[in-house]
């Protein structure tokens, strides 16, 4: 047995010492894996097609072949002919009953229906009861708008002049853009240094987001195009600032903080809005209460596009307070240094400066220190609020395009 075992061991050693054995073994295993994979695919497709065939046969079995009696008669599909007997008022009455569902997203194509007027006109000057000054606007309907002063929020009705609802918030005089409307016409607002609340259609308040004490939200904007929430954040222990983008489930999607070379983009963001091309427009200041500033614009991916710091002939100091964009992707900026409203295009080129209207020589005679500006995409009206009093100006500067105006001849 010892001799036989030694001989067997010698034969096995000679066999295993040859590399061809392992090569053949590996080749056989790989071929076996390929065959099993191929057989699995065949079985899968057979199973799928068998199910489809059975379903199709069951469906056909239930069908009844069409007969002559199934052919519709002409009387059931009568086509009305427009004749002189049809009363036009009845037709208009039926057409006006058609309901159009509102969509939350902006319609950029509406700019093709509008044109700029030669001179902006003042539609009215309104006093908003319940606030000390007007620092920010959020439009719920063409007549109802939310106005805040850093201490409270009120829902103001332009038609009746009444205050429909009030919300008390923790005093926050650092920022102006404390609230925004989402696509469901719900108010999203910063209630305190660590919480963000939502006011539903039933006027019930719900806390939707909470933060730690290191970073606090100072301004907020809800994007109608992406339905994301964009927050301006500031550190409590330093001067660091950043922008954060959250989705519907409040998951952090993006952080915008620095330029390509590592330079800080923001010093203290006070107000956020979004342009039609997806750019994020931020009103940035060097200090919470004062100091000069800039309008910082980044694209949707967070890349810095440009910064607007005013016009050189007006001096080195530029104090942006409120910002908004319109249907033509233009950016409106309230400058606290000159009490003007600067208008620039989507690329940062200066277009014009407003400090008067066609009906009044200077609007400083009506309101003091224009601080906030808002554009209503439903009515295409511009709202300008004062920081020293609770007054707002409602201005029309866009009109329906004359070439698209229809005339009905009866």
pLDDT mean over 268-283: 92
CB 174 within 8 A of CB 215: no
Whole-angstrom distance, CA of residue 196 vs CA of residue 188: 7
**What per-residue confidence (pLDDT) applies to 221?**
95
Tell me phi and psi for residue 130, to 5 degrees: 105, -10
Q: Within 13 Å and on the Cβ side, how many CA atoms surround 303?
A: 3
Q: What are the residue ranges spanned by the domains of the chain?
A: 115-404
Residue 410: pLDDT band by 50, 70, 90 thresholds?
A: very low
Whole-angstrom distance, CA of residue 350 vs CA of residue 338: 15
pLDDT mean over 111-130: 83
Among 92-106, 186-200, 356-370, 373-387, the range scoring the smallest mean pLDDT is 92-106
* pTM for the predicted model, two decimal places: 0.69
pLDDT mean over 83-88: 54
- What are the tens digits of pLDDT across the range 369-395? 788 999 998 889 999 988 888 889 898
Task: For domain 115-404, give its CATH number from 2.120.10.30, 3.90.1150.220, 3.30.465.10, 2.130.10.10.
Answer: 2.120.10.30
> H/E/C letters for each residue in the chain?
CHHHHHHHHHHHHHHHHCCHHHHHHHHHHHHHHHHHHHHHHHHHHHHHHHHHHHHHHHHHHHCCCCCHHHCCCHHHHCCCCCCCCCCHHHHHHHHHCCCCCCCCCCCHHHHHHEEEEEEEEEEEEEECCCCCCCCEEEECCCCEEEEECCCEEEEEECCCCCEEEEEECCCCCCCCCCEEECCCCCEEEECCCCEEEEECCCCCEEEEEECCCCEEEEEEEECCCCCCEEEEEEECCCCCEEEEEECCCCCEEEEECECCCCCECCCCEEEEEECCCCCEEEEEECCCCCCCEEEEEECCCCCEEEEECCCHHHCCCCCEEEEEECCCCCEEEEECCCCEEEEECCCCCEEEEECCCCCCCCHHHCCCCEEEEEEECCCCEEEEEECCCCEEEEEEEEEECHHHCCCCCC
**Using CB atoms within 10 A of its CB, is residue 258 exposed (0-12), middle (13-18) or buried (19+)?**
middle
- What are the tens digits of pLDDT across the range 335-362? 877 788 899 999 999 998 887 655 555 5
């Amino acid at each position: 047995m010892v001799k036989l075992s030694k001989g067997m061991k010698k034969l096995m050693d000679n066999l295993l010492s040859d590399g061809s054995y392992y090569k053949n073994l590996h080749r056989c295993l790989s071929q076996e894996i390929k065959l099993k994979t191929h057989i699995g695919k065949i079985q899968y497709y057979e199973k799928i097609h068998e199910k489809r065939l059975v379903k199709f046969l069951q469906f056909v079995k239930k069908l009844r072949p069409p007969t002559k009696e199934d052919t519709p008669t002409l009387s059931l599909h009568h086509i009305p002919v427009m004749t002189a007997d049809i009363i036009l008022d009845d037709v208009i009455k039926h057409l006006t009953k058609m309901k159009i569902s509102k969509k939350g997203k902006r319609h950029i194509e509406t700019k093709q229906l509008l044109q700029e007027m030669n001179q902006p006109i003042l539609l009215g000057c309104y006093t908003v009861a319940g606030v000390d000054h007007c620092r920010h606007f959020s439009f719920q309907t063409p007549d109802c708008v939310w106005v805040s002063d850093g201490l409270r929020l009120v829902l103001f009705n332009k038609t009746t002049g009444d205050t429909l609802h009030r919300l008390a918030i923790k005093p926050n005089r650092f920022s102006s853009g404390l609230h925004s409307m989402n696509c469901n016409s719900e108010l999203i607002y910063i209630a305190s240094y660590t919480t963000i609340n939502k006011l539903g259609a039933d006027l019930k308040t719900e806390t939707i987001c909470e933060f730690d004490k290191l970073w606090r939200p100072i301004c907020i904007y809800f994007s109608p195009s992406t339905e994301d929430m964009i927050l301006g954040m500031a550190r409590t222990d330093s001067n660091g600032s950043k922008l954060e983008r959250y989705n519907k489930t409040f998951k952090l999607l993006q952080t915008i903080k620095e330029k390509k070379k590592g330079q800080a983009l923001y010093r203290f963001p006070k107000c956020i809005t979004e342009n039609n091309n997806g750019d994020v427009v931020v009103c940035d200041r060097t200090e919470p209460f004062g100091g000069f500033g800039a309008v910082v614009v980044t694209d949707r991916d967070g890349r810095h596009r440009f910064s607007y710091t005013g016009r050189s002939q007006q001096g080195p100091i530029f104090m942006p307070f409120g910002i908004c964009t319109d249907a033509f992707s233009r950016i409106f900026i309230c400058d606290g240094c000159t009490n003007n409203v600067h208008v620039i295009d989507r690329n940062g080129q200066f277009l014009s400066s407003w400090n008067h209207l066609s009906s009044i020589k200077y609007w400083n005679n009506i309101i003091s220190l224009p601080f906030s500006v808002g554009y209503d995409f439903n009515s295409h009206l511009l709202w300008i609020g004062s920081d020293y009093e609770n007054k707002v100006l409602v201005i029309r500067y866009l009109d329906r395009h004359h070439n698209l105006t229809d005339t009905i001849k009866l």
